[in-house]
Amino acid sequence: MRIRMIGAPMDLGADRRGVDIGTSAIRYADINDRLRTLGHSVKDMGNLLIPQPESQPLGNPKLKYLEPIVRVSEELANIVTSILQEGEFPLILGGDHSIALGSISGVAKVHKNIGVIWIDAHADFNTNQTTPSGNIHGMILSALAGIGHSSLTNVGGWQPKIHTESIVVVGARDLDSGEQALLREHSIHVFTMSEIDQLGISEVMRQALTIAGDHNDGIHLSLDMDALDPKEAPGVGTPVRGGLTYREAHLAMELIADSGKLISMDVVEVNPILDRENATALLAVELVLSALGKKIL
């Protein structure tokens, strides 16, 4: 596989600072060389230039930093589209989860019918009408589905980027009430931690891959490190107890790799300021490796 990696050190979509240095932490955890050890070629494009919150007006408190987030999303989308058109695999490092607006928009411009597996403690399916915080990282999946403020839904010039029936959320355990209503209204497939407890991660991922991977052009994986339990991944901005274990997360990645359907990936929300000895970034690299083919034997 020819991998093209791009860092998107976005720190505008969430309240807690620090995810802008997540890209550096992941690189420090030796992601480039470890991917090459698997036999992949890797070209690291460095980071997008993203303004700091201190230099930008907050704007609408229900859509904080909307304009710079949209600008960066447009730029990232164009880069991801170019990577795919050159026959390479885009791997995008965050940054907060608002970067997925750009990464998935870029994929959808090339692959019109993609499925999305969104592994996250949160569904990120709020809009400016339902958000309790105004943080845009919590509105990205809905925007990609064409739901929400037009500035977000129209990144790239069209909507929706993904069809609701091809979206799967895995690991959810912290959903806002308005978000819950939207998820039900649009029949989004959500596998909560309760369902993972009951069915097991292997069965959940089998169903998720069927939903996201059937009758489309491949799967984009969006991995938020807060999907894991904080004992495994302490360095995230919005930790929620009761998340995926180390082995559950690895098995999920291994099953995605085995499917042969993965065409692009982003990994987000590594916050080194809140981490312990770079443990979360190291784990993020391990999970990327598993998603891209590393096996125990």
Instruction: Kindly tell me if the per-residue pLDDT of 37 is higher than 90.
Output: yes
Q: Does residue 264 form part of some domain?
A: yes
Residue 71 lies in a domain: yes
Separation CA 164–CA 141 (nearest Å): 10
Taking residues 277-285, report their average pLDDT. Answer: 98
Give the residue among 67, 96, 87 at the shortest CA–CA distance from 7. 96
Residue 21, pLDDT > 90, answer: yes
Would residue 297 count as lying in a domain?
A: no
Residue 126 counted as domain residue: yes
Mean pLDDT of 246-268: 98
**What is residue 297's predicted lDDT score, i.e. its pLDDT?**
83
Residue 125 above 90 pLDDT? yes
Average pLDDT of the chain is 97
H helix intervals, 111-245: 140-144, 150-153, 177-185, 193-199, 201-213
Q: Is residue 220 part of a domain?
A: yes
In sequence order, what are the residues at sequence separation of 6 or more whose Cβ sits closer than 8 angstroms to the Cβ of residue 251? Answer: 201, 202, 205
> Cβ contacts of residue 46 below 8 Å, gap of 6+?
6, 7
Domain range for 134 is 2-291
CA angle in degrees (0–180, nearest 5) for 270-276-279: 60
pTM of the model: 0.98
Q: Which CATH number covers residue 268? A: 3.40.800.10
| Angstrom distance (rounded) from CA 173 to CA 197 | 12
The answer as to whether 296 is a domain residue is no
Residue 242 main-chain phi, psi, to 5 deg: 85, 30
Instruction: Say what the pLDDT of residue 215 is.
Output: 79
Domain count, the chain: 1
List residues with catalytic annotation.
97, 120, 122, 124, 137, 224, 226, 269
